[in-house]
Each structure stands twice: as C-alpha cells, then as structure tokens.
C-alpha cells in the first residue's frame, strides 16, 4: 500500500538506530502549507534595516580625490592648463578663463562618468553576488545573499555557497568545504541540530557540527539552516577575512587602445616641440609658438579612446544585463562576437524547466498516461510507482524533476505517518539516489535514477537490462526523460553505508516531459545564419536527446554518447566531433574533454553549465555560461557570463548584443580617427605654408568637447546592423583597427581636411578677414563632423539609415552642438571670445552645401568598401 508523508514526526524503535532523523519533515508535494514558514517579508525588511546588509566592507570604489588625481595626469588636461596659463601671461584673460573652464568641465565630466560607471558596476556586482534560497511567508525565494537576515531559513544544495552563519535544522548527506576559513582541503561532514546541538561558540572545522559558516561551499548533499549571524558578525567577518571579488581582467581592446594612445602621444610631443622651435626661431614669438604647439598636440592626441572604451564596456555590460544576461568579465563582450561553437545543455535552457510526469510504465509492460493538471486517483500499481518516485525526492523539492513527482500528491491515497531516516545521494559512479523511510509497517527504501543505474541496483540480468533499454528508447523517442524506480525493505538495524547493499525490486519507469521554449528554434536558426554551430550536451538517453534536438532545429542525426567518448583518445575524439550535433549520456567531467577537443580544432567555444562538476569546463571554455536560476555558486564563479533566466534565447541575444557593442565601438573609434585628421591638419597647415593661424587651444578644446559626447552617447546608443547575425564570427585575433577600418577613417579625415582646407585657402586668397576665415572654417569643420557622424552610423551605405535609424541620443547631441555653434557664430559676446568675424547668409549656404557634398561623397565611397568595413 502506498505510504503518505505525515505532518508530524513519530519515532519507531529499532529501525535505523543511531541515524539522523529529520526535524519537521512536512513538505508535501513541494508545498510548505504545513511546513516551516520562515520570516515574513515585513520582518525581514525590518531586520535588514536594523542590522544592515549581509556583506563585508569592500574597497572597490575609487574616491573623488583619487579620480581627480587620475584626471590631472591626463595629457589633455595638462595641455589645457598650460594653454590657460600662457593666455594669462599674454593678457588674454577671456581665453584663459575659457580654457580653465574647459579643464574644469573635463574634470566634472570624468567624475560623472566615473560615478555612473561605478553605479553600473555596483549593480552588476550585486547581480553577481551569491544568491540564497530562503523560506519566507512559507514560500521558497531566491534572493541576493546581501539581503539575508538573522532568523532566515536558508535551503542548502550541492554547489551553493553558504550566505551566512547557520544553525543546521536539517542535513542530508551534507559535506561542506570550509577551507576558506580553516585552510583544510578535505570537506567536513555536517549533522542536524537534533543529533548534534550547536555549541555556544561554534567554530569551523571538524565533523558532525550542526553549523555552517558564511563563505563556505556545499560540496555534497542538502540541508536547511537558520541564520545566526550575517556580515561582519559572521565567522568570516570576525576573523577579518574577505570574500574574493570579481575582478575585471584587462581586455585585449584596452591594451590595443592604450598602445595606440601612447604612440600618438609620442608623435604629438615630438611635433609640438618641433612647432614651438620652428615658430620661435622663424617668427620670434615664443609664447605664440607654445600656444601653437599646444594646439597641435591637443589635435593629435586621441585621448577619447580610453574614455570611449571604458564607457562602452560598462554600458555594454549593463545593456546585456537588461537582456537577462550578466557579464562578469569585460573581455567577454569582445569574445562574444567571435564565438563559433555554442555547447548547450537541454533541461531548462532549451526547455522550459517545467517538468511533469506524463507516463508510468510498469515492469510488466503496462503503461499509464498522465495528463497535466489531472487530479483523478491513479490506479493501484501506478500509484505505488508514483509514491516511490516521490519518496525518492527531497522533502522540500527545488529541482523541477522532483517537483513533478510531488505534484502527483493529490492523485495518491492517504497513508500512515512516516519519518525520513537517511538519504543516499547521487554519485558519479552510480546515478541514482535513495531515501530510507520509517513507517508503521517497517523501513522502506525508495530509489530513483538513470534506468541503467536502477537496473544495476536491482541486479537485473542482461536480458532484463535489454528489455529495459527497449522501453527507455521507445519513451525517449517521444522526447521523454526516463527514470527508473525501485523499492526495497530495510532491516531494523544499522543502515548500510551505500545504497548498493539494499535488495531492490525494479518497479518500472517514469517518463517526464519538459516543453521546448517557444523561441528556441528561431534562436538556433539565427546562430546557424551567424556561422555559430550549436551542439547539445545532455545526460539524457540518445533517443530523448535526438527528439529534443530535432524540435529545436539542432542537427541530431549523429549522436555521440559518454561511453563512446571514454573509448576514444583525444586525437580520435577531435576527429569524431566534426559532424556531431548531439552528445548524450554525458557526465559533467566529460564536458571538459569536449571543450578541449573543440578548442583543439580552433573553435571559440561557449559552454553552458550549472553544477559543481561543470566548473572546470566552464573555466576552460572561452565563454563559460552559468545558469543564474538553477546554477550553483561554484558554476557562476567559474563562468564569464550568467544567464539570469536560464534561457537559450538569452544566449543568442547576448551574442547579438556583443556583436552590436563591438560594432559600435569600432564605429566610434573610426570616427575619432577621422575627426582628428582635419583638426590636426588645420592646426599644422598654417605653420607649414605661412598662412594665418586659425585655431588655438581654445578652438581645439571646444572641438574635443564635441567629439567625446558624440562618441559616448550617439555611437554607444546605435542599434545593431540588419546583417549583424548574418556575418561569420569575427576571428578572435582580429585587431580592433582593421586595415579596412583605418583606411576608411583616414579617407574620411583626408576628405574632410580637403574640403575645409580648400575653403580656408580660397577665403584667404579672396582677401577675407582673418576673423571671418576662422569663423567660416570652424563652422564648416563642425558641420563636417556632423556629416561624419551620419556616415559612421552604419557600415552599409544607405542615406535612409544615416538619417532614419532610431537614436534618441543623436537628436540630443546634434541639438546641443547646433545651439552652441549658433551662439559662437551669432552672439557677439561669444563671437568675440572665439575671435570670429560675422558670417553672411551666403557663407552659411556655402558651408551647408559643402557639408552635404562631403556626406554624399563619403556615402558613395563607403558603398565601394562594402561589408569589409564590418569585418
């Protein structure tokens, strides 16, 4: 007769003497209606306010003073200050004040950018912090570890990092790695409080202690504990230790841009010094020579590169987090666009992780189909199978598969009181788990697991195992995940150390289904068009894996199993995986071999994982992708990105965003190079040919103030290109500045310089006043910069895209630039400060026409370069 969990604990003499019991074992069907309620949300909020967040003091943020010191070290600010000082010396106080104002503005902008970036990074750190599964108001809640408070009931599972000091209420086969606190590499065994009371001064180390400590790691088993200390009051806080923080590695892009800026800075210093000497000896005016040298130096240094890279990286990570993907390392953003192979698991990633038991098949071949949400009682033979399946699960299930068995509770008859005595967890060498229950009739052992593991526990012969395999294949072909079920009776003495020593009886098979996520086939098709190979790696049977792969659009004709992998050496494995789309019956440790095999073939590998044993493969992959919902803290810490919703479509969305961010970064960098060419040319041209010096540090500083917001606002906010997921993956060694991009940038710059320099020379030859020439050329240069913005918005040549693509930041920036330019050329006070003469309607018409001609000409030239710009 099937046996029901009881709402009260009752003793039973003799059976399993000396083994731990389970306090308040009341979770029926995953519901906590009669179980522990935990704190209420209101009480938890009050305690959080009173005691503070569950975190240790950190020193990751920079103070404003530190930022200020870093800003002062920048060459551009030094040039602005020098220019201001010289203007004071020659009596031009207005220019001096304006330059000092620009210097102050630069400091303020940098402080604002730093604050904004820190806020973004702090939010990302909050997302990256260990999560905790607590019970509040009788419900399981997954919350950030910093929100855990004293008195919370925390549910612990294998792979979790303990969020606070806990007194253990339950412990099932619980082993904890406390090396962070003790330095001892071996994990220690834990016991529940009813068998090993928590001492007043609990300290880490030693077996059978009914306490766990903040920062330690659950390496096996499960349990539940009540929080006794958080934050600095925890053991890790008292001994002054600090948790390891996520550190952003120096990306390759940062090294490239840093090297480029240093090269340009060296060239600028050499040219500026030469100009000072040339101007001083040739014209005898050393102060003006220094100003000319400063102006040239400012025009040559692309100081925007580090700013743009920092802003794009931080904001890119933030944008990706809005797509339910957490980027834990900055280098991942550039790597995403280079991914060629995407290895994904099945359950919860391709599927909805919403399992239900849809078929029970008895050992005699009889089958019973179960409909979702049906509440009619199960027939007796199948009711016993369902009850054994439920008894083999955790009392308070969190895993969707175990929840599916608990969901069958309303269809099972009531039973007598029972008590959990002992649990035997999954092991790599035996993929089955068993629970021993004390009932009124005696001790019952319920087991579930991989059919071949259950067949081994039941000591089936070869013919019987072949029959089981035939049934499993038939169910797997319909997309079911198949588990074997078995039952045994336990003696009334000490329980054995391993579940292999029970005399199990094979009851039958349970088939569970998990619907495919709606967007998966489309996402797989997008990967295929983007040149990304998608392979599925699962622990399921080959038939089940093939059915899901076919539905998802993954090539599942050729399947390789874990057993076959073990029989191949590394060379043979590398050859076999060339045309394999599905890997079935794979153990976590075999994932590492697959990652290394793909890498040996020159692939850029993205790998998903969620368990403790997945950590090596996640770390070995170029892009480790951990599950944020069902994943363990160990997996998340080993990964480079975390899926907050465990959804495959989010991976594809992250790849798309990664390509977009990289595209926009290249557009911004190309724009910076293009703009610096005419600015430097117009600063150098008068010195070489004896023309009037038009631009001083004041004008260059104004232009530099235009370039920064254009890059950081307009290009960062650009939408992705229409063909972004139709391009092949970018080679990982490809430089940010490809030869085509550099050629295109210099071509734009030279064309802009030619237009503005022609206007300069013609105006000078026609006898126009110097102030009017300065106003004419400056206005033309600003409108030319606007033309360059429109040209660089897209790699493809399209006038419609240049003006019609949605970008709120573009309208804002162009509006501000237009107002400032209008003020500088039309308002007498500002005009005098810039030493501009009056411009006439004909002048503005000529300037506008030249800018339009430049824009159309560059669009025409871009059409010839075509898609090579995007590569």
Q: How far apart are CA 214 and CA 212, in angstroms?
A: 7
The parts of the chain modelled with pLDDT lower than 50 are 1-33, 59, 124, 240-250
Dihedral, CA of residue 201, residue 204, residue 210 and residue 212, to nearest 10 = 110
Strands 188-189 and 165-177: antiparallel
Q: How far apart are CA 500 and CA 503, in angstroms?
A: 8
Q: How far apart are CA 734 and CA 725, in angstroms?
A: 18
Bridge partners, residue 512, by sequence: 357, 481
Number of helices (H), then strands (E), belonging to the chain: the values are 29, 22
CA atoms within 13 A on the CB side of 454: 30
> Would you put residue 442 in left (φ > 0), alpha (ψ -120 to 50) or beta?
left
- Report the predicted TM-score, pTM, of the whole model to 2 decimal places: 0.69
| Encoded tokens for 184 | 């001892």
Contact 476, 547 (CB under 8 A): yes
- pLDDT for the residue numbered 253: 65
User: Following DSSP, what letter does each residue of 547-578 receive, concatenated?
Assistant: HHHHHHT---SSEEEHHHHHTS-HHHHHHHGG
Contact 701, 102 (CB under 8 A): yes
Q: How far apart are CA 99 and CA 294, in angstroms?
A: 12
Sign of the C-alpha dihedral computed for residues 654, 575, 871 and 741 taken in this order: positive
Contact 714, 786 (CB under 8 A): no
Q: How far apart are CA 472 and CA 461, in angstroms?
A: 16
Residues 6+ apart with CB under 8 A from 44: 136, 147, 149, 151, 152
CA-nearest of 838, 702, 826 to 770 is 838
- pLDDT for the residue numbered 852: 93
Strands 217-229 and 188-189: unpaired
**Rg of the chain (C-alpha set):** 34
Q: How far apart are CA 783 and CA 758, in angstroms?
A: 15
Give the count of beta carbons closer than 10 Å to the beta carbon of residue 734: 13
Contact 362, 381 (CB under 8 A): yes
Q: How far apart are CA 808 and CA 621, in angstroms?
A: 38
Q: How far apart are CA 90 and CA 287, in angstroms?
A: 8
Write the CA distances from 424 to 373, 495, 837, integer angstroms: 31, 11, 88
Determine the distance from the C-alpha atom of residue 140 to the mean position of all C-alpha atoms in its chain, rounded to a whole number. Answer: 25
- pLDDT for the residue numbered 460: 93
- pLDDT for the residue numbered 241: 38
């Amino acid at each position: 007769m099937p046996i029901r969990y009881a709402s009260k604990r009752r003793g039973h003499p003799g059976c399993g003497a000396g083994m731990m019991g389970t306090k308040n074992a009341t979770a029926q069907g995953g519901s906590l209606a009669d179980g522990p309620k935990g704190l209420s949300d209101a009480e938890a909020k009050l305690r959080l306010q009173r005691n503070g967040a569950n975190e240790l003091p950190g020193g990751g943020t920079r103070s404003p003073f530190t930022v200020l010191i870093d800003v002062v070290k920048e060459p551009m600010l030094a040039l602005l200050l020098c220019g201001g000082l010289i203007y004071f010396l020659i009596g031009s106080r207005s220019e001096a004040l304006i330059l000092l104002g620009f210097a102050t503005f630069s400091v303020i902008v940098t402080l604002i950018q730093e604050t904004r970036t820190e806020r973004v990074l702090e939010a990302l750190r909050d997302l990256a912090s260990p999560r905790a599964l607590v019970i509040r108001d009788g419900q399981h809640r997954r919350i950030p570890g910093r929100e855990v408070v004293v008195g919370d009931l925390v549910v612990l599972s294998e792979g979790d990092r303990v969020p606070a000091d806990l007194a253990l209420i339950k412990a099932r086969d619980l082993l904890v790695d406390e090396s962070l606190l003790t330095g001892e590499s071996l994990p220690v065994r834990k016991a529940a409080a009813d068998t090993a009371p928590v001492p007043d001064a609990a300290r880490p180390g030693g077996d059978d202690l009914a306490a766990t400590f903040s920062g330690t790691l659950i390496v096996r088993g499960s349990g539940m504990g009540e929080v006794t200390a958080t934050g600095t009051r925890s053991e890790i806080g008292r001994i002054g230790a600090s948790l390891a923080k996520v550190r952003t590695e120096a990306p390759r892009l940062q090294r490239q841009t840093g090297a480029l800026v240093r090269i340009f800075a060296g060239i600028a210093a050499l040219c500026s010094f030469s100009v000072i000497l040339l101007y001083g000896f040739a014209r005898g005016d050393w102060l003006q020579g220094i100003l000319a040298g400063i102006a040239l130096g400012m025009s040559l240094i692309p100081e925007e590169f580090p700013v743009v890279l920092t802003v794009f990286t931080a904001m890119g990570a933030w944008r990706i987090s809005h797509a339910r993907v957490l980027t834990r390392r900055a280098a991942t953003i550039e790597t995403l666009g280079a991914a060629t192979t995407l290895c994904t698991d099945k359950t919860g990633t391709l599927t909805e992780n919403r399992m239900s038991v849809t078929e029970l098949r008895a050992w005699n071949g009889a089958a019973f189909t179960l409909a979702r949400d049906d509440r009619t009682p199960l027939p007796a033979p199948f009711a016993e199978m369902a009850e054994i399946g439920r008894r083999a699960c955790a009392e308070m299930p969190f895993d969707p598969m175990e929840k599916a068995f608990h969901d069958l509770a309303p269809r099972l008859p009531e039973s007598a009181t029972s008590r959990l005595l002992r649990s035997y967890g999954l092991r790599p060498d035996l993929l089955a788990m068993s629970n021993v229950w004390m009932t009124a009739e005696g001790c019952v052992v319920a087991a579930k697991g991989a059919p071949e593991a259950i067949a081994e526990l039941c000591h089936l012969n070869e013919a019987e195992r072949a029959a089981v395999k035939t049934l499993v294949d038939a169910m797997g072909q319909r997309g079911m995940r198949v588990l074997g079920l078995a039952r045994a009776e336990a003696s009334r003495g000490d329980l054995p150390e391993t579940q292999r020593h029970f005399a199990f009886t094979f009851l039958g098979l349970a088939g569970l289904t998990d619907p495919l996520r709606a967007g998966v086939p489309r996402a797989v098709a997008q990967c295929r068009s983007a040149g990304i190979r998608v392979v599925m790696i699962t622990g399921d049977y080959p038939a089940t894996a093939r059915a899901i792969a076919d539905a998802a659009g993954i090539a599942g004709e050729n399947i390789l199993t874990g057993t076959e992998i073990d029989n191949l050496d590394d060379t043979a494995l590398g050859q076999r995986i060339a045309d394999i789309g599905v890997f079935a019956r794979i153990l976590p440790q075999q994932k590492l071999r697959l990652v290394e095999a793909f890498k040996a073939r020159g692939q850029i590998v993205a790998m998903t994982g969620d368990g403790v044993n997945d950590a090596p493969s996640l770390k070995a992959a170029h892009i480790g992708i951990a599950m944020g919902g069902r994943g363990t803290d160990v997996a998340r810490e080993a990964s480079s990105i975390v899926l907050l919703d465990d959804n495959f479509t989010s991976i594809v969305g992250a790849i798309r965003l990664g390509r977009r961010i990289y595209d926009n970064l290249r557009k911004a960098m190309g724009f910076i190079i293009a703009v610096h060419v005419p600015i430097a040319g117009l600063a150098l041209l008068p010195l070489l040919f004896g023309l009037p010096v038009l631009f001083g540090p004041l004008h260059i500083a104004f232009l530099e103030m235009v370039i920064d917001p254009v890059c950081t606002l307009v290009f960062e906010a650009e939408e992705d290109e229409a063909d972004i997921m139709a391009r092949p993956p970018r080679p990982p060694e490809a430089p940010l500045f490809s030869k085509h991009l550099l050629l295109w940038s210099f071509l734009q710059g030279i064309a802009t310089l030619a237009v503005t320099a022609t206007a300069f020379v013609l105006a000078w030859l026609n006898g126009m006043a110097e102030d009017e020439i300065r106003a004419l050329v400056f206005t033309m240069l600003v409108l030319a910069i606007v033309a360059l913005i429109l040209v660089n918005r897209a790699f493809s040549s399209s006038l419609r895209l240049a003006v019609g693509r949605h970008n709120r930041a573009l309208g804002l920036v162009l509006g501000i630039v237009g107002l400032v330019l209008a003020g500088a050329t039309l308002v007498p006070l500002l005009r005098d400060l810039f030493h501009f003469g009056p411009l006439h309607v004909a002048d503005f018409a000529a300037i506008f026409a030249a800018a339009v001609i430049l824009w159309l000409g560059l669009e025409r030239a871009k059409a010839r370069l075509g898609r090579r710009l995007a590569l």
